[in-house]
Structure 1
Amino acid sequence: MARDIPVIVLTGGPCGGKTTALQRIPEKLSEYGVSCLVVPETPTELFSAGVTIGGNGLSAKQFQKQIFLAQIEKEDRFRKIIKHMHGGKLVLFCDRGTMDGRAYMDPAEFNAMAETLGYSVPQLWDRYASVNHLVTAAIGAEKFYTLDTNKCRVEDTLEKAALADMKTRAAWVGHPHVRLIDNSTDFEGKLKRLLASICRVVGIPVPLEIERKFLVHNPVLDQLLVRSDIHIAEIDIEQIYLTADGKFGRRVRKRGQNGRDVYYLTKKYDVEPSVRIELERGITPLQYYYFVRDECDVSRETIRKKRYCFLWNSQYFELDVFLEPARLCGLTLLEIELTDKNDRIDIPGFMGTVTDVTEDPAFTNRALAKRR
């Protein structure tokens, strides 16, 4: 799906500040010449309309199915509307997205429901440029937790709110661009961090990717996969480098699960070692084929790897285990995208010995793909 008009999800736990953010962030963006539309939250609309669960109402499964269908319909309609708007930059916000429903169902059951309705999980991820999760006040700002901001809220204890937050985070694991906005500052600081995250996606002043990368020295995959306290999404990635476009390096990437793939064209160049300008758009499988056939950089090999996305202490990590080319097989890199290059990073202890290779050009995927 083309990213000309970014579609950004705001989600999070109960009383995380989402309602206030969806009022104030568009107002702030308007000062930068950005026009915004907001797709309203579907569950609240249905509850407010009198829809109930249980008794004479819908079953929980039927309710989630109707939320899913209504969410798709609204998002598609708002996408059409915003394309007719004029002016400067445009952004479409979603007050929660399709994957939020996975927090209220068995994940496998949600995936099966989506498939039955014609959508794979990678296709659902592909609907959104980024996902911003506002952590509930019940985690880190307990004295501010309240039911007053949403009359439909049912989490009446801190424990229930924290559990709902964790389930919602887990629902989005696997999306390529997830940001957790925690309560490490006051609420104004929280909104500033959210705004900074959104501005990087929108391209104010330019679309930046800030990341840190670590070489993992010892095999850790088995230790990660056996942990019952960590939700993990396993992604298959194939990326092929194209001839350069001026100062931009280019690649095409196939990203998917269980044989259901989505395709991207990415252009990027380094501003400094940990910061780069990145432009990405979705492409079709046929376009992917033509790019590979006609514009492939023959001096570089195809990279294939498994990516394991997971959350740890309110941080979103990606562990890449390389499969091809054969000379890279077993190479393991841990990456994390940041809102600010000075953000604190808490690397899981079970990763063992790691080396920060963020500033080592030999560990860029482009350099690793260079034929030897």
Structure 2
Amino acid sequence: MMQIEKTYCELAQMSTKNCLIICDRGIMDATAYMKPEQWEEMKMKNGWNEIELRDNRYNQVIHMVTAAKGAEKFYSTEHAVRYESPDVARNLDDMASQAWVGHPYYDVIDNSTDFEAKLIRMISTVTDRLGMDFRERLNVNSKKRKFLVRELPSLEAIDMAASAETKGYPQFQDFDVVHDYLATPGQKTQARIRKRGQNGNWTYTHTIRRYLQNNESAETKMHITSRDYTNLLAQIDEKHQTIYKTRRCFLWNDQYYQMDLYKEPCQERCKGLILLETYSTIPAMEPLDLPSFLDIVKEVTGDPYYSMYNLSSKVWLQNTKGKATVSHDSIPNEVANGDVHQEATSNGDHDETNGDINGLR
């Protein structure tokens, strides 16, 4: 498999046209078909690590959930290469999807729609990642939603949830994440760099967001080298503090979640902060089937107080003076002009005076 991928990459590099290489399977899929100790032995013999195999090797991973989960009437073993029973297929699907948890650009396409819509959703995730605008043709209305979590559940709480016939804490992957915002020539451009890794193995990303007309923005994300990352550190915006987080990635009912646990050193308002993110076609503020083992305080989608850009700002709270300016992540053009504001609340959700988030202290 690795040799085949290498061959296609070499062919793509020789081409004078832009190329997109789509792999039907990836290296991590193999872990679903072997024992964990066999996989660990293979990694050790070949000097592999999962950051390289999973995160750096592929720019995007899309897991298409088997029809045996949610579309059983369409699952058939009459297919030439499909011989697993539905139960076996579901088990392999769980293991294969779990193998990719932690990839920075991982999408799970379930069977909540018919097959044609499922394909459109899959294609849309690719075009979005490539920055290609097919909104009218591939309108799936999937938006990021963000939730404030009170605290991590204790082991006792997890056991109680499991005994109540609900799933306990699922398998997860933890990553160390460091974000820095860079100085830019104007307010209509935002730039940041990120390093993300496990056990001393890192991936590096440079993101540039440009704000356009009609409240729209164009974002470019680029994988960069360690050397590029080090050079860009010289451009850090001194008005922003470095953000340190543990990012916990997991699957819950075939929905992919990322939970950010903010770490010190950080500003006072970030101490103990835990934010859960996922993508959904269900509009913001409408009920969503969230992980039952988490104590969700409220939804904070679009709330400028919980924008990472504002959380990293050393002057944002002082500049609001009783009002919270909508962040660049929300309504960019008006913010750039200083026209739009959102009233700050004082109902116990957050304290503008000292920056402490009630319920997290």
Tell me the TM-score range normalised by the shorter chain: 0.7 to 0.9
Tell me which amino acid in the other structure corresponds to 1:330: G
Q: Report if the CA contact (8 A) 2:142-2:282 is conserved.
A: no
Q: 1:196 to 1:297 in 2, by over 3 A?
A: same
| Partner of residue 337, structure 2 | none
For residue 276 of structure 1, report the CA deviation from its aligned partner.
5.7
Aligned pair 1:323/2:323, yes or no? no
| Structure 1 partner of 2:298 | 355
TM-score (normalizing by structure 2):
0.74
Contact persistence 1:211–1:336 (CA under 8 A): yes
- How far has the Cα of 1:220 moved from its partner? 3.1
Q: 2:253: which partner in 1?
A: 313
Q: What is the alpha-carbon distance in structure 2 between the residues aligned to residue 108 and residue 339 of structure 1?
A: 39
Partner Cα separation in structure 2 for residue 104 and residue 135 of structure 1: 17
Secondary structure of 2:183's counterpart equals: strand
Q: Is the 8 A contact 1:111 1:120 kept in 2?
A: no
Amino acid at match of 2:21: L
2:121 matched to 1:215? Answer: no
Is residue 303 from structure 1 mapped to residue 247 from structure 2 by the alignment?
A: no
> Does the 8 Å CA contact 2:282/2:288 hold for their aligned counterparts?
no
In the TM superposition, 1:106-145 aligns within 5 A as: 106-107=35-36, 109-111=38-40, 113-124=42-53, 125-145=55-75
Match of 1:251 in 2: 192
Q: Which residue of 2 aligns with 1:40?
A: none
Indicate how the Cα distance of structure 1 residues 223 and 248 shifts in structure 2: closer, same or farther if over 3 A, else same: farther
Task: Please state how far the C-alpha of 1:116 moved relative to its aligned partner.
Answer: 3.6
More strand, by proportion: 1
Total equivalences in the alignment: 297
Partner of 2:276: 334
Q: Which amino acid aligns with 1:177?
A: Y
Question: Retained in 2: the 8 A contact 1:211–1:275?
Answer: no
Amino acid at match of 1:144: F
Classify 1:312/1:336 alpha carbon distance in 2 versus 1 (closer, same or farther; 3 Å): same
Residue identity matched to 2:203: V
Q: Secondary structure at the match of 2:88?
A: helix
Aligned to 1:26: none
Q: Distance in 2 between matches of 1:271 and 1:149?
A: 48
Per-residue Cα deviation, 1:214-260 (whole angstroms, up to 9, x for no partner) = 11123337579877661100111111111126533111111111111
In the alignment, which residue of structure 2 is the partner of 1:201?
A: 129
- Give the SS at the match of 2:21: strand
1:302–1:221 Cα change, 3 Å: farther
Is the aligned partner of 1:81 residue 2:7?
Answer: no
How far, CA to CA, are the matches of 1:238 and 1:370 in structure 2?
15
Instruction: State the match for 1:101 in structure 2.
Output: 30
Against the structure 1 CA distance between its residues 231 and 219, is the aligned structure 2 distance closer, same or farther, given a 3 Å change threshold?
Answer: closer
Counterpart-to-counterpart distance in 1, 2:128 and 2:149:
28
Equivalent position SS for 2:124: helix
Percent identity of paired positions between Structure 1 and Structure 2: 35
Could you tell me which runs of 5 or more consecutive residues in structure 1 were left unpaired when the two chains were aligned: 1-70
In structure 2, the gaps of 5 or more residues are 136-140, 160-166, 316-361
Match of 1:262 in 2: 203
Partner of 2:103: 175
Instruction: Give the C-alpha shift of residue 262 in structure 1.
Output: 1.6
Q: Does the C-alpha gap of structure 1 residues 102 and 165 become closer, same or farther in structure 2, counting only changes over 3 Å?
A: same
Q: Distance in 2 between matches of 1:224 and 1:115?
A: 36
What per-residue deviation string (whole Å, max 9, x for no partner) do you get for residues 48-73 of structure 1?
Answer: xxxxxxxxxxxxxxxxxxxxxxx222
Q: Which residue of 1 aligns with 2:232?
A: 291
State the 1:300 CA deviation.
1.0
CA positional deviation for 1:352: 1.8
Q: 1:321 to 1:112 in 2, by over 3 A?
A: farther
Q: Is the 8 A contact 1:241 1:250 kept in 2?
A: yes
Question: Quick one: which amino acid aligns to residue 261 of structure 1?
Answer: W
C-alpha displacement of 1:104: 2.0
| Partner deviation per Cα, 1:28-62 (whole Å, 9 max, x = no partner) | xxxxxxxxxxxxxxxxxxxxxxxxxxxxxxxxxxx
Deviation at 1:121, TM superposition (A): 1.0
Give the 3 Å change call, closer, same or farther, for CA 172–90 of structure 1 in structure 2. same
Distance 1:186 1:286 in 2: 46
CA distance in 2, matches of 1:80, 1:231: 36
The SS at the match of 1:351 is: coil
Whose RCO is larger (CA < 8 A, sep 6+)?
1
SS in 2 for 1:93: coil
Paired AA for residue 287 in structure 1: D
CA contact (8 A) 1:100 1:168 kept: yes
Kindly name which structure, 1 or 2, has the bigger radius of gyration based on alpha carbons: 2
CA deviations over 1:143-197 (Å, ceiling 9, x no partner): 111123343x341x21111111111111111111221111112211111111211
Q: 8 Å contact 2:131–2:220 — kept in the other structure? A: no
Q: Are residues 154 and 110 of structure 1, via their aligned partners in 2, closer, same or farther at CA, if it must alter by over 3 Å?
A: same
Contact map agreement 2:69 2:90 (CA 8 A) in 1: yes
Alignment partner of 2:11: what SS? helix
Shift of 1:201: 1.3
Alpha-carbon distance change, 359 to 180 in structure 1, aligned in 2, over 3 angstroms = same
Q: CA 1:108–1:233 in 2, change beyond 3 Å: closer, same or farther?
A: farther
Distance 2:273 2:198 in 1: 21
